[in-house]
Structures are given as C-alpha cells and as structure tokens.
Structure 1
Amino acid sequence: MNKVEASMAGTVWKVLVSEGDIVESGQDVIILESMKMEIPLSAEMDGKVSKITVNEGDFVAEGDVLLELVGI
C-alpha cells in the first residue's frame, strides 16, 4: 500500500480521482492550494485508489494522508 500525503499545509482544491480508479506513477491525483499557489500531488506508484480520506475544501496539515493506493 502507498499513501499520498500533503507536502505542506493547505486546502484541498481538487480531488482528481475517485475510489476504485486505476492510476499510473506520476499521475496527479490531488491539487492543494496554499498561499494562492496550486500544488499538484502525484501517485508514486501504479495502483488502484483504495481510499480517499479528504474532500474538496478540507484544510490539511503537512504529512496528512490524503489517499491510499494499492498495487495492481
């Protein structure tokens, strides 16, 4: 299992995937907004989105788990 974590504190601007989606390594899965900048977060492995733990508009702290991937 692989987790996508917030790289900095900010607001979840967009969730680009849904639970059950298949993603590729390097694919953007979530966009954070912090200090009026958009920060894309990417999957670090090929896999299936098993769990999304945030919603658009949620405030997250650095290191918070935003979604989980399982290998396929």
Structure 2
Amino acid sequence: MAEEIRAEMVANVWKVEKAVGDTVADGDTLVILESMKMEIPVVAEIDGVVAQIAVNEGDVVQEGDLIAVVE
C-alpha cells in the first residue's frame, strides 16, 4: 500500500534527501523543509521504496501539497 506524504505547513523545500527508488525505513528523512528559519524534517512513516518525490529544492509548498509517495 502506498503512503502519500503531504506538507503540514507552508514552507520552502530546503533539501531533498532521498530519490525515487531509494529504500527507506520508518523514520528516515525524505525532505527537509524550512520555515521561519527552522528546519523541519519530513519523514517516511512506513518501510518501503520511494515511488515519487513531488518537490525540488527551492520549491515552496502549501499545506496539503504532495511531497512524496512511499510504497
């Protein structure tokens, strides 16, 4: 079953840590967001493989925007 990971707030995409095809474990950082000079890690909530990274470094995400999909 695929897990969609979505932004919880408006933020800038500071760093993309994983790529499509990477194996991840529950708690691994996928992307780091930056908001108000704070770094917010976006983590996988299941073990699996990254099926999609929907953002690029420098993008601005809105609350609810798709960040990644882990299968």
- Is the pair's TM-score, using the shorter chain for normalization, greater than 0.5? yes
Matched residue pairs, number? Answer: 70
Residue aligning to 2:62: 61
Q: Is the aligned partner of 1:44 residue 2:45?
A: yes
1:37 and 1:48 mapped to 2: Cα distance? Answer: 27
TM-score (structure 1 length as normaliser): 0.93
Amino acid at match of 1:11: N
C-alpha deviation, 1:28, in angstroms: 1.0
1:1-72 mapped onto 2 (5 Å cutoff): 1-70=2-71
Considering only aligned residues, what root-mean-square deviation do their CA atoms show, in Å? 0.6
TM-score (structure 2 length as normaliser): 0.95
Report % sequence identity: 50
Gaps of 5+ in 2: none
Amino acid at match of 2:12: T
Where has structure 1 moved over 6 Å in runs of 4 or more?
Answer: none
1:8 and 1:44 mapped to 2: Cα distance? Answer: 18
1:40 and 1:47 mapped to 2: Cα distance? Answer: 18
